[in-house]
Amino acid sequence: MNYREEYKSKIRTARDAAQIVRSGDWVDFGCYQGFPSLFDEALAARRDELEDVKVRALLITKPLQIAEQDPEGEHFTYNSWHMIGYERKLCDRGLCKFIPMVFRNLPDYYRRFLSVNVAVMGVTPMDEHGYFNVSLNNSNARAVFDVADVIILEVNEKLPCVHGLENTIHISEVDMVIEGEHEALTEFPSIAAGPVEEKIASSIVGRMTDGACIQIGVGGMPDAIGKLIANSELKNLGVHSELLVNAYLDMHKAGKITNLNKRGIMRGKSVFSIAHGNQELFDWVDNNPSMCCAPINYVNGLNVIGEIENFVSINSCIAVDLFGQISAESAGTRHISGTGGQLDFLTAGFKNPDAQSFIALPSTFTDKKGVMHSNIRPIFDGGDIVTDPRSQAYIMVTEYGVENLAGSSVWERAEKLVNLAHPDFRDELIKSAEEINVWRRSNKR
Ligand SMILES: CC(=O)SCCNC(=O)CCNC(=O)[C@H](O)C(C)(C)COP(=O)(O)OP(=O)(O)OC[C@H]1O[C@@H](n2cnc3c(N)ncnc32)[C@H](O)[C@@H]1OP(=O)(O)O
Ligand SMILES: CCCC(=O)O
């Protein structure tokens, strides 16, 4: 069959396509910019006919109608693998439930353990060979397609076509296609860095050398680092990161990214799984042969990262306790984000002797009432989720310095972490360290 004819025969309205969902089903939505907004609206409109429909995705940034139209959660339950802004607020309202994960394992969770009754994903228009491109979001897309009983594509004319691995699906694999108008892609502008972020960024950049291959995440810290690198003498840098963020655009515009120091692993290519930023970033990625948008089991695979020379990963966390346990996904019991790729990069950081994995955090957090709290805590006693066990803790950075916890005894960790704390909290932390028996008599005060 001619692909265009096959395509036409599979076109349905969003309303008709949504009829396929039955009570009790698990439905997977495309993540982030692959969110199928037309299908979501049509499914939400069926609310009163359906019970116990579970929807799974991550990084949804637009109002999710199956949650917004069902504020008591009586018909739909939304589950997220990783939350940012909007989903965090949905979670606060009881309308988003977190699914714990290690990012590199996400495709395997689908292939080994999960059922998907209906998969619905936003994709680019079909090309002349009958292929659709999953565009900016390729973390687990192919794994979802591989296990889904029914595959529905929502064609989004605004999505860029991105070069990559396992990032296409052929019309012959698809059950239904939805067409329609979409809003502009959600943009994430760069965040202005404050003096704390700049101090931390300068400690990290000072430890980097020419040819470094860099992984960084979202937030003010990575943006500060990107700007500092863009204005530094560093050269010949590489990109290998689960997220491609605006910071890389700064480095690119400054001519820093060549990817030529990568030997064996995608030389000449910027490798990532999800592009997250502003329209200028999306335009840079569009049909650019220097990009490779690959599944997360590849990008965050320990053996892959372990092969990359001069690898530098920079992530942030919410708090660390005196044992060196790192919490990056909750503040007490309030869920904030997820493990994402953080543990992958800490683990892989050990595979190559010249790799460095930094966890950066401001030493304090000022709450909405203006009260300052230490992000270095004696113990986690408020329900904080441990993202990285102390056995995986590695190079910690605050505005007060840089300390490597790997291989350190409990008393050395406590001392190093006290050094990283804000001076106003150090005495209190030492007292707590004595109480929990991790302070050594000879430790300095
Ligand atoms: C997502 C990535 O970073 S990709 C890299 C690998 N993955 C990871 O590292 C995953 C875990 N890490 C993360 O998700 C992030 O780095 C974070 C959440 C630790 C920091 O991200 P940022 O965007 O800089 O966070 P930001 O400062 O905006 O804080 C996010 C929320 O947490 C709250 N928060 C942050 N620190 C604290 C704290 N110490 N105590 C209480 N709440 C806090 C903020 O108030 C904010 O809540 P709000 O949205 O209601 O205002
Ligand atoms: C989608 C999650 C990105 C990360 O935290 O690794």
Q: Say if residue 27 carries a ligand binding annotation.
A: no
The model scores a pTM over 0.80:
yes
Q: Is the CB of 394 under 6 A from ligand 2?
A: no
Whether 242 is a known active-site residue: answer yes
Q: Say if residue 217 carries a ligand binding annotation.
A: yes
* pLDDT at site 296: 98
Amino acid at 415: E
Q: Is the pLDDT of residue 31 over 70?
A: yes
Nearest atom in ligand 2 to 300's CA: 6
For ligand 1, atom 25: residue with the closest CA: 219
Q: Best of 58, 88, 103 to mutate for ligand 2, by most ligand atoms within 8 A of CB?
A: 103
Instruction: Please say whether the beta carbons of 69 and 105 come within 8 A.
Output: no
Q: Is the pLDDT of residue 445 over 60?
A: no
Which of the four pLDDT bands, split at 50, 70 and 90, describes residue 443? low
The mean predicted confidence, pLDDT, of the chain is 96
Q: Say if residue 211 carries a ligand binding annotation.
A: no
Q: Is the CB of 59 under 6 A from ligand 2?
A: yes
Percent of the chain past pLDDT 70, that is, above it, reads 99
Instruction: Please say whether the beta carbons of 155 and 182 come within 8 A.
Output: no
**What are the pocket residues of ligand 1 if the criterion is a CB atom closer than 6 Å to any ligand atom?**
85, 88, 217-220, 243, 315-319, 328-329, 331, 336-338, 340-342, 365, 375
For ligand 2, atom 5: residue with the closest CA: 340
Which of the four pLDDT bands, split at 50, 70 and 90, describes residue 442? low
What is the pLDDT averaged over residues 375-401? 97
Q: Is the CB of 217 under 6 A from ligand 2?
A: yes
For ligand 1, atom 42: residue with the closest CA: 331
Q: At 158, list the tokens.
A: 């605004």
Backbone angles phi, psi at 191, to 5 degrees: -105, 130
CATH number for the domain running over 3-179:
3.40.1080.10
Closest to 107 (Cα-Cα) out of 147, 80, 50, 135: 147
Instruction: Please say whether the beta carbons of 318 and 331 come within 8 A.
Output: yes
What is d(CA 4, CA 442) in angstroms, rounded to the nearest whole number?
77
Per-domain residue ranges of the chain: 3-179, 195-436
Q: Say if residue 220 carries a ligand binding annotation.
A: yes
Gap from CA of 340 to ligand 2 centroid (Å): 4
Gap from CA of 252 to ligand 1 centroid (Å): 26
Give the pLDDT confidence of 105-156 residue by residue, as tens digits: 999 999 999 999 999 999 999 999 999 999 999 999 999 999 999 999 999 9
Backbone angles phi, psi at 26, to 5 degrees: -105, 125
Reduced to 3 states (helix: H, G, I; strand: E, B; else coil), residue 42 is: helix
Q: Is the pLDDT of residue 45 over 90?
A: yes
Q: Say if residue 370 carries a ligand binding annotation.
A: no
For ligand 1, atom 47: residue with the closest CA: 336
Instruction: Please say whether the beta carbons of 57 and 30 come within 8 A.
Output: yes
Angle at CA of residue 32, ends 83 and 270, nearest 5°: 105
Q: Is the CB of 152 under 6 A from ligand 2?
A: no
Give the pLDDT confidence of 164-221 residue by residue, as tens digits: 999 999 999 999 999 999 999 999 988 888 999 999 999 999 999 999 999 998 888 8
Q: Which ligand is nearest to the CA of 137?
A: 2
For ligand 2, atom 4: residue with the closest CA: 340
**Pair type for strands 376-377 and 319-321:** parallel
Give the pLDDT confidence of 277-336 residue by residue, as tens digits: 999 999 999 999 999 999 999 999 999 999 999 999 999 999 999 999 999 999 999 999
What is d(CA 418, CA 121) in angstroms, rounded to the nearest whole number?
47
What is d(CA 317, CA 396) in angstroms, rounded to the nearest whole number?
10
Q: Which ligand is nearest to the CA of 59?
A: 2
Percent of the chain past pLDDT 90, that is, above it, reads 93
CATH number for the domain running over 195-436:
3.40.1080.20
Instruction: Please say whether the beta carbons of 108 and 147 come within 8 A.
Output: no
Q: Is the CB of 344 under 6 A from ligand 2?
A: no
Q: Say if residue 341 carries a ligand binding annotation.
A: yes
Gap from CA of 44 to ligand 2 centroid (Å): 27
What is the pLDDT averaged over residues 407-411? 96
* pLDDT at site 264: 78
Q: Which of 87, 154, 166, 242 is catalytic?
A: 242
Q: At 96, list the tokens.
A: 């988003």
145, containing H or E segment: helix 141-147
For ligand 2, atom 2: residue with the closest CA: 340
